[in-house]
A = this chain, B = another copy of it.
Amino acid sequence: MKKVLAEVLTIGDELLYGQTLDTNTQWIGEKLSELGIRIIRKVSVGDLREEILKALAEASGRADLILMTGGLGPTKDDITKKTLAEYFDTPLVMNLQALQEVKALFESRNRVLTPTNEKQAELPQSCTMISNTMGTAPGMWFDHQGKVFVSMPGIPYEMKAMMELSIIPKIKERFSLPVIYHRMIQTVGIGESWLSDMIETWELKLPSHIKLAYLPHAGKIRLRLTAFGNDYTTLEKEVDEQVKQLLPMIEKYVYGYGEITLEEAIGQLLVSQQKTVATAESCTGGYLAHTFTRIPGSSRYFQGGLVPYHNELKIHVLGVQRETIDSFGAVSEQAVREMAEQARKLLQADIGLASSGIAGPDGGTPEKPVGTVWIALSDGQQTYSRKLSLTRDRMINIEYTTVAILNLLRLTLIGFIDQED
């Protein structure tokens, strides 16, 4: 079966000049991938007639399906509609169904229809009108010389509703679609090149219709397997088989599958083991607590946290011994171990987690340069501590330390902790 190729074209000066973050193309890319359509390119152009015309001609030379967003507003700078009419050599005419819908929308919002709004119901004659259930600008579907062009509003919730309700069903009807199967494996605690070396023999033996991608982000790496073929169940089985061979090599680093985050995976472990955690943060400064609490339902396992930034608070509120800080400093294995133990006790949790380090960019010494971080975990029976040597960038150090603490917690919960170096 011939693969359906798609191109996404977003239109608007604000996208080029950096005033708006384009989130539409990511969402569209995800939806098309799920349909087994291959996106070959994404293009953004400004609200300029010649640029739009050129981009349309180029896209039709590459893709079977061209999805556009943007440039459909009622103001003068939005010219997508009349440029489409020009491209397809068809006149703009009043579309009665579109007019009825825009009238109904204004009535439901108790607002008066202006001539400007009424003009939004004028559409290129050769298109099929696509209802906009969330706003005033209708969508347009053109079937032209074997290629399909779809124009949608740029406002994300209007575009999404239109895709879900009308465009995706029409795409399924219009094209015979191949099958793509994706599997995402989430890893933590290993760098990209080490991981790559570790699984190289397996990777080299992958069949040509199964592709592997490394997607690194903040101390974690997602491995994505993509299988192309004709039958979903076959692909699923083939990927299952590959994952079965892969897993023993990297088991310790895998925290989940699909779109799950590390903190969500840990939340599930804590809930299933009925354990609670508490935090005492120095260099991470509240970011670890935030990483737990941004997950809905985290109050089931996150008891609370303390950020004793000033050393006096480490002693008076958290209960670290003054001698420990005087003898070894706040950034020391001894101090961070006491912090984890005290967090557990003071905040009444099963497990206490702690960080202490020199986040930077300043404040380092020859013995403890910027990026020196100690982390610890105390579960009431054991206390584990690790030293990290990170970067000179404060925010990166905060993020990596948080991921390292979460990974220490994960390894403890799954009983892998003794194998940690």
Contacts and interface: CB of A to CB of B under 8 A. Distances in A.
A305 interface: yes
A317 B45 contact: no
Interface in A189-245: 191-194, 196-197, 203, 211-216, 222, 224, 226
A256 interface: no
A348 interface: yes
Nearest to A196: B75
Contacts of A13: 213
B41 A216 contact: no
Contacts of A117: 193
Interface string A276-320: 000101001111111011101111001111111110110011000
A303 B292 contact: no
Interface string A16-41: 11111111011111111100000111
A193 B313 contact: no
A110 interface: yes
B304 A309 contact: yes
B389 A108 contact: yes
Given A196-B74, A317-B304, A19 B30 contact: yes
Contacts of A322: none
Interface size class of A (residues with CB under 8 A): 35 or more
A290 B287 contact: yes
A152 interface: no
B19 A42 contact: no
Copies of this chain, count: 2
Contacts of A46: 39-40
A148 interface: no
Given A73-B216, A155-B216, A193-B74, A360 B296 contact: yes
B309 A109 contact: no
Contacts of A134: 391, 393, 396
Nearest to A17: B33
Contact of A347 (B58, B213, B293, B313): B313
Interface of chain A: mostly helix, strand, loop or mixed: mixed
A168 interface: no
Contacts of A51: 40-41
A131 interface: no
Interface in A339-390: 346-348, 360-362, 371, 389-390
Among A19, A55, A305, find the residue whose CB has the most chain B CB atoms closer than 10 A. A19
Contacts of A391: 109, 134
Contacts of A398: 290, 294
A2 interface: no
B16 A20 contact: no
A274 interface: no
A348 B292 contact: no
Contacts of A172: none
A328 interface: no
A121 to B, nearest CB: 13
13 contacts: A14-B215, A16-B40, A17-B30, A18-B28, A21-B23, A43-B44, A77-B213, A114-B194, A284-B290, A290-B398, A293-B307, A296-B362, A316-B348
Closest 8 CB pairs of A and B: A285-B293, A286-B289, A18-B29, A18-B30, A286-B286, A286-B290, A305-B307, A42-B44
Given A19-B224, A41-B44, A77-B211, 13 more contacts: A16-B29, A39-B46, A75-B214, A108-B371, A109-B390, A116-B193, A285-B292, A286-B305, A287-B290, A294-B398, A304-B317, A305-B307, A313-B347
